[in-house]
Each structure stands twice: as structure tokens, then as C-alpha cells.
Chain A
């Protein structure tokens, strides 16, 4: 493009006549129309940054011309995406220049939900927010404020948690956590002490070296990398498949990964633990496990006191346990790691001095004993022969891994499923050897907190405040992420028990799109004195908010991204309006609270007091300059250098970390109390009783002990329960990702929304016929909690008896009485009531009962055709 044309084009962009740009470029007779021509130097440069449309952080090259981002493309040096970029990421330009960005701080004028706002300065906005916070603080106490983040589109997750700890409220939540990833992180921490096996959370790093990775089988359990992390994990799995790696996919829905799998197990939603128990049983009974590894490196041979249910450690658990020695037919003390002269028994029951003891393996076997292939087939609605074929693929093709996805995190069996998946890899010896997911590779040292660098400053939360955490006592597993329990907070607002929260401060990817049973949250909002909402554009939350703070889009934000052996700097490519990075906004609010007399907020800016928790910052640069010295550079220097390898691939990949010798020459083992893989994990009992090892202060015990071994609970609403619910609502609902959306974001991006203008409910042909549903027809979907509409996709790709939908809300109806969340939002139907998962408090997002029936048409005001999304286009684009 010539320089003149560029200037004309930019001029036309400014006056906003769509399409004229092409006219000028392509049609000579139009260029004679002599618009104003300004002499400017055509400047173009590129910035190496990282995407944040989802959480995969793929490397991006952003092209900037005359101050405007004009093109994005994948960065080939990124070791996970390798130069590829998905549609979601490529749409970053549209998100950045979206006409409906939140541009300035706004304060509500008139009635809540009336949609009238006044622009204020940041100073005024911060005064207002801090004033609200301090009013609640003085009138009721800090715990009456609750914070939240998540739901998509956030640069990092810990800022809300950090602020809440410093402000003194224990009530912070993220709609994911117990419903997304936390159960798996917790199980990995408790049982292994290393990385979990979630592909979509940028783990399984070993597999990204596809050329050299000896992996032979992958079990994609409730995960669809092809949709959830297409350019990174989806790309990687695809490459491995092309190289002959065998795959099993466990998913009620025929995803691309399922279609390409060697065996697809379309189980009944949320019966996963029953299936996992059958896998464990089959592997034990048929002796397919790695016996050498199981004996030496798991705690399965250790004797458990059947009365206390704890493993017997005659001395320090790190150095000794009791095993049964067949040679002497006696219980003997095993010195870590192993006594060569013992003939250690794996399965056994013994009475010693009148007390009953069993090995961990014996207890595991007894726990899974009823789960034969036939029994699992019956529970999970699968053919036992298919289950057996799947197990054989996994067990006969090591090294391999069970890569557990989010599906099992979304029902009451969440923690148990994560435990069971770990057990499978432990039994097969798929730990820390080449070609497996569970690894402890080296890290750069820049990130001190898990995954993101913002320290949570737990020490700032006083003990008496910590003990007021809603749902904290019952669901102590949440404390691995220092978080509260969303459903308990909701209940407290609605009932006033044990106390009634008064203020919600939220950084939102539309909570009304991602929380369960959102009708109740709307009710709860009416009971709150103040609601503060920060995001990049208006969401349903905006309708309930009193103050709106404008956040930066990812092309404006900054973050250190560690991806395999490479450090990437997400850099501020451009900056628009008066937006700020949320990592700074929370700090700004703390500062104002400090100035208004909040002692801890004031101290949070004192480097000496904060120490490793870092003093709060006034800018991102100030923050990063406290952490990048781990790589001997400033943030500016890192931006200039990144992306770069902080270690060579060979230095970075450290296999068999557990074999590395300690000072006394013995192998260091795993990061668990016994240094062994804790298959029988009595740590869960301890966690439930005391909060160890995650809680900074002891908390009273949960009502019921947590189980040291996985167990299966039939979902609360279930088609096999012959009850009122199952009779009225006969179909099981499940959810799952689509490649054009992330969590609750991107429904306002024309180029993505046109690919899926309205949500589809998947239903198999037989069920469609039974319930009078026609292909492509508008359909009501109703649960015990509400009803919504979607278009029917009649397909064999969903298990009979089940339906599938992805989350949806409609930005186009924000300013109507529905506020965009009531029409087609599957989370109107989900369940926020007890029972929850015992350990982590998971509520039900998948695996609940619905009925379907034909609808007359689309909900009022909902945009269904591509042309209707034109008002969301970047000005100047056609």
C-alpha cells in the first residue's frame, strides 16, 4: 500500500465509512476524489507479545502501523503454539478496538439497572470505591465485603485474592476454582507434589517436544484440547496423533479429539469416577501395573491402621513406615526409601496385637472391588468391551498419561475424580520418566506464586478474619487457592446466615454467564449495598453495578509468561482511553483505603513490612521490577529481550527428579509427607480435620472426614434415580468448550459470533423425535431452576439420553430487562445448592436434569444473523 493511500485510508477509518478503504486501495477511479492528504511518515513495527484471549498465553507477533495494531500472527519461537494462532486470539484486534469498550470510570446515575452513567475521573472513582469499602468496613467489618475475579479475560488471577487478604476479608472467589482446575491442582499437590496433567492449563509440557517425546498413549479424559486450547495443546495432541500416539477420549460429546481417537467412551455425564474405579480395578486384578515402581515409589505397601485410617509411621513419616515382610511374616519398619532385605507384600490384611491393619493396596482394591467392567458399563452407559479396549490401549502403551480435563471438576465427584486419575498414572509408573505428563521440570524463578506472579499476601489476613471464611471450614481444599466458597457466599447473602455480605467488588468476565443458578445471584444483588464492577466492556454485571472501572484489553496489558523453557513478555502494544490493568486497579483501591485510614492497606505499600509478598505498586513496571531480578534484568530489559530461552531445552527438562540424591545420599522422592506417591492419601483426612497443609491457622473440622481414597457418588440429579426430578426432567445436561468462545467472553466479537450466532443444544435423533424437536428449531430447555432457549442441533454426536450446551449470554440485550443473561444462558439452569463436593465444595455445572420442548422462535432482541453484529465492528472495517 502506498503512503498516500495509507493516509487516505486512515482518514476514512476516522470518518468511519465502512468499505471505502478497499475502494481506495483497489479502484483507481475512486482515488481521484482528492481527500485531505497529510504528509506523515509511514511507520510500522512489530512487538513480540503473548495472547490472553484464553489462558493459554500463546506467543504473538503484533504489527503496529502508525500507532494502530493492524495485524496479529502466531510467534514461531513460542515452544507451545509454534507460530500458530486460533480464531479467538486473532480477534484480539476487534476486542481492542471494540466500539463498546469501557473507556472511562463511570458512576451510576439514578436507579440501579437503569443504564444511566456519569463519567468521572479515576481519582473520583477510587474515592467512591474506597469510600464504599471503608463504610462497610467500619459499619459491619471487612468480611462483609467479598471480591471475585475470573470468568475469562483476566491478565492474572491473584490480584483479587491479594486485595481481599490485605483489606481483611476472607471471602474471595473465582467461579472456576472448585468448578475448574482446583480439584486437579489439589490432588496433584496432595498425592504427588508436582504438576497436574491438565493440557488446557498449559501443563503436560513434556509432550510439546513432539519430535523427541516417546509417549505412546494419551487418555483425554473430559478434555478437548482441539477446542479449549487449539493452537497450543490442541496442536500438540494433533501432532502426537500424527506420529502414531494412541488416544482414548472419555466424553459424552463427539469432539474433534473424540472423532480422531482410537477409542471414544461416550459416558453418561459425571459418572467418571465409576469408570475410573473400573480402570483401577482392571489394572490391579490383571496385574497390568508397574509392580517395581508401585512397590518402591508409592505408599501402597504401607500398612494402614484400620481404626484410625492413618498410615502407620513409627517415626518421622519422611523416613519410616510399616510394611509387611513376607520373608519373616511380620510387620517391619521400612526405612526410606527401601529395605532391600525385605520381601514386601503389596496386598494384605493382618492383625497385629489385636489391631487390624491393611496395606494401602489392599484398601484400594477393596474400594474398587465392586467396579467390574460390567458394573461400570451399567453405571456409565458404556459397552464393557469398549471400556476394556480403552484400558488396554492405555495400559499396554506406556509411557502414557491420563490427561484430565475440566469436565470432572463440574459435579460433586470433582476431587475424587482427580484422585482416581492420579492413581492410574501412579499405578502405571507414568511419573517423571520421558514421555509422561507428570514432571517437575525446572522453572525460571520469576514466578513465586503458582502460575502468576502477584503474591497473595496471606499473612495480611488476621486469624480472626480468616476463620470467618464462608464455606471455608466445610470445604478446606479451597484453601490451596486461598479462596472462599461461592455457593456459601450466595447463601449467606440470601439468608443472612451466618452473616450477610454487603458489598461485592468484582473483576468480571460476566459472572452472570459463568456462575451457577444465576437467577439467585440476581436476587442476591438486590440485597447488596454496593457493587463495583471492573472489566473491558459492559457485561450483565454492569446492570447491577454502582461503579464501573475500565480494564485494559490483553493487547494493552503486561505480564511475565513462562512457557516451557521460554520467557515471554506480554507487553503493552498500545493503550486506549483511560483503561488500566486490573493488577494496578486493585493496588489503586488499596492505596485509597490506606489513605482513608485502613491500617493494613497503608502497610501494604511498605516494602519492609511486605517482604516477599512485595509492596503494592503504582504501575506494572514498578511491580515487575520487583520480580524480574530473578533473571537479572529489569522489566524493560525483559520486554526488549523476550521471548528468550531462560534455560536450554536439555537443562530445563529434568526427568526423575525423585531419584536425585539429597545430602545424605538418599533419593529426594516426591513432595509429599512420606516422599512417596500417596495413593492412599490420609493427608485428606488431616486436611478436613485441621486445614493442614494449606491453611495458615487451624480451622475446626469439617462435619465429615474427607476420604483418603476416591469414591463414587451418583449425581444428585440423575436419570437413574427414580424420583420426581428425573421423571419431570428426563435428560442429562452437559457442557463443554467451543473453539470460538472463551468462558463468558467474545460473544460481542462479530467475526466469532457469526460462526455461532446463538447457542445450540445438541440432542440425538431418537431423543429429538421423542420430544418433538426439529433440526435447527428453537427449543426450550428447562431445569428445576429455570428455562432458556437454544437452537437444536440434532446429531449422533451426543450420547442418547443426554443434551449438551455451551455457556452463552447476549451483549445485545444488556439494556433490556433481561440484562443479557436470561435468554440463552445454560447457567440459568445449573445448580448452586448442596450437596457439594466434600473437599472443595464444587457445585453442579454439568450432570443435572433438564427437559426439552419446541419453542415458537428466538428470544426477543437476540441477534441471530451475521449482519446484525455490524455495530460491534471496529470502525473502518467492513
Chain B
């Protein structure tokens, strides 16, 4: 049966603490100024003091139709048949950064030290050893989950079923069909790419 591993994020639980980013940094030896995971602050919006704000933690969306693999000139960036995870083979990556530019979610990362692209594998090395991805393991809010979203018996599948009606995917204008899932019950989903929203809000350009 086809599998699609991806992150499932309970946005209502996310505390915006960036522990996931630090945990990933140490586990995967990520260079300064770059990250495989970002926590975006979705707000505050509304009229003071009736404000809405939630946090959105975004890793690679393990897309069904990933643009990053399409544009890779060497085939280093590929979607794995067995679990649907998008991976980059460091041996064949030439560091052209095409995949970074192609990813609409800004999820791919450029390793400045190695000068190759780098991305979330949902911690392959830990999962192979029977352990939990570093961000999921340490998340203080218990917001981060992962699993085969196509398998209704998986933890991820059960979580999605239990929250039917409150499950969102990132805005997908380019037809990448992201597999990452976000559960948001307590706030109104802002249907913008989170980095575009955050930048617009911070720079005073958002009028929502």
C-alpha cells in the first residue's frame, strides 16, 4: 500500500517556543542562520484587545508533486517510493539551490558550510534507530506529530480523523499538493503562506 510520511502539527498546541528549531539544529548539525524548521507567528490580528494569534511550525511538506524534485538538475532531490519522504542525496547535490527557489513553502535549507541543499527527512537517522524525530520528541507543547497520513491506523491518521473539519494544508497555488497537515480548532486559519503573512504583518503591510 502506498505510504506518505509527513508532519502533522497541532497548531492549537504550539507555544511558539522554537524548541523544535534548536532540537533540529543540534540533531542535524544545521548551520547558523539556517534551519530545516521554522515557527511562524500567525498574528496578532483583529481589534485590540480581541486579538487572534497562533503559531505554525513548518518543516518540509513532503509534497505529492514536489517542485523541488522537478527542478533538480542532478536528481539529487528525489521523492522516495517507499515512504513518500523527499530526500536530497548529498553525493549528487551540486548546491545550485534550484530546489530552494522552487519550494513554495521555503522548507528546503542550504547548508552554508557544505554548500549543498539540506532538508527535513523527519529525522531518518533517528527513525531508523527506532527513535522519534528530535523536534517531535522535545516539543514542549506536544504539538508535533509525524506518521503515514494515508494509514488510518497510524497515530497521524487517527489524529487527523479525530479532528475532521479542522485539518488544513498550506496554501498551494503551485499544485505541489503538500502532505503536511495542520490542525487548528481555536483560531481562524489564515490562508496565506506563513512567511508571507509574517513578513507582511511585521512590516505593517497586512491589513486583515
Residues of A bordering B, CB below 8 Å: 18-19, 21-23, 26-29, 71-74, 81, 83-87, 90-91, 93, 226-227, 230-231, 234-235, 238-239, 242, 254, 256, 259-260, 264, 266, 383, 386, 739-740, 750-752, 754-755, 764-765, 775-776, 793-797, 799-800, 865-867, 869-870, 873, 877-878
Contact = CB atoms under 8 A, between A and B. Distances in A.
A225 to B, nearest CB: 9
Among B32, B55, B204, max chain A CB count under 10 A is at: B32
Given A242-B13, A799-B49, 12 more contacts: A22-B113, A29-B91, A91-B22, A230-B19, A231-B19, A234-B141, A254-B51, A256-B55, A259-B52, A259-B54, A264-B51, A383-B49
Interface stretch (B40-48, B58-66, B146-154, B165-173): B40-48
B114 interface: yes
Given A754-B33, A870-B32, A254 B53 contact: yes
B76 to A, nearest CB: 12
Contacts of A386: 49
**Size band of the B side of the interface?**
35 or more
B67 interface: no
A514 B27 CA distance: 32
Interface of B: 12-13, 15-19, 21-23, 25-27, 29-33, 43-46, 48-49, 51-55, 90-91, 111-114, 134, 137-142, 186, 202-204
Given A230-B140, A231-B140, A765-B204, A87 B19 contact: yes
Contact of A87 (B23, B30, B51, B112): B23
Contacts of A764: 48
A29 B92 CA distance: 11
B31 to A, nearest CB: 5
A187 B22 CA distance: 38
20 contacts: A22-B90, A26-B114, A29-B91, A73-B137, A74-B138, A84-B140, A85-B19, A85-B23, A86-B22, A226-B16, A234-B17, A238-B13, A238-B141, A238-B142, A259-B44, A259-B54, A775-B202, A797-B44, A869-B32, A878-B111
A751 B22 contact: yes
Contact of B204 (A81, A254, A266, A775): A775
A275 to B, nearest CB: 14
Given A230-B19, A266-B49, A873-B32, A84 B142 contact: yes
B51 A796 contact: yes
Nearest to B138: A85
Contacts of B27: 71
A9 to B, nearest CB: 11
Contacts of A755: 18, 21
B111 to A, nearest CB: 7
Interface centre among B15, B32, B142 (most CB of A within 10 A): B15
Contacts of B140: 81, 84-86, 230-231, 234-235, 238
A18 B137 contact: no
B33 A867 contact: yes
A486 B123 CA distance: 49
A67 B139 CA distance: 28
A878 B53 CA distance: 34
Contacts of B137: 73-74, 83
Given A93-B26, A796-B48, A227 B32 contact: no
Contact of B19 (A90, A259, A765): A90
A22 B111 contact: yes
B1 to A, nearest CB: 31
A235 B203 contact: no
A740 B140 CA distance: 13
A878 B27 CA distance: 12
Of the candidates A242, A750, A869, the one having the most CB atoms from chain B within 10 angstroms of its own CB is A242
A239 B13 CA distance: 8
A244 to B, nearest CB: 12
B53 A797 contact: yes
Contact of A242 (B12, B32, B139): B12
B29 A877 contact: yes
Contacts of B52: 259
Contacts of B114: 19, 22-23, 26, 878
Nearest 7 Cβ contacts at the A-B interface: A19-B113, A866-B33, A87-B22, A259-B53, A878-B113, A739-B17, A226-B15
Contacts of A877: 29
Contacts of B29: 21-22, 877-878
Nearest to A19: B113
B63 to A, nearest CB: 24
B33 A865 contact: yes
Contacts of A71: 26-27
A776 B203 CA distance: 7
Contacts of B48: 266, 764, 796, 799-800
B163 to A, nearest CB: 12
Contacts of B139: 84
A85 B24 CA distance: 12
A73 B113 contact: no
A629 B22 CA distance: 39
Nearest to B185: A242
Given A22-B114, A91-B22, A234-B141, A739 B16 contact: yes
B206 to A, nearest CB: 11
B208 to A, nearest CB: 11
Contact of A254 (B19, B30, B44): B44
B202 A90 contact: no
Contacts of A90: 19, 22-23, 26, 138
B90 A750 contact: no
A93 B29 CA distance: 13
A7 B33 CA distance: 28
B115 to A, nearest CB: 9
Nearest to B131: A73
A93 B90 CA distance: 27
A84 B138 CA distance: 4
Contacts of A230: 15, 17, 19, 140-141
Given A264-B49, A797-B53, A776 B111 contact: no
Nearest to A265: B49
Contacts of A750: 32
A196 B93 CA distance: 57
A86 B139 CA distance: 7
A870 B31 CA distance: 9
A577 to B, nearest CB: 22
Interface centre among B54, B141, B142, B204 (most CB of A within 10 A): B141
B89 to A, nearest CB: 9
B44 A795 contact: yes
Q: Which of B45, B48, B90 has the most CB of A within 10 A?
A: B48
B138 A776 contact: no
B178 to A, nearest CB: 25
The residue among B49, B52, B142 with the most chain A CB atoms within 10 A of its own CB is: B49
A752 B17 CA distance: 11
B73 to A, nearest CB: 18
A104 B45 CA distance: 52
Contacts of A84: 19, 138-140, 142
Nearest to B32: A866
A797 B33 contact: no
Interface centre among A235, A754, A796, A799 (most CB of B within 10 A): A796
Contacts of A235: 140-142
A878 B22 contact: no
A81 B139 CA distance: 10
Contacts of B13: 238, 242
Contacts of B91: 26-29
A83 B140 CA distance: 9
A749 to B, nearest CB: 9
A739 B113 contact: no
A754 B32 contact: yes
B26 A775 contact: no
B203 to A, nearest CB: 5
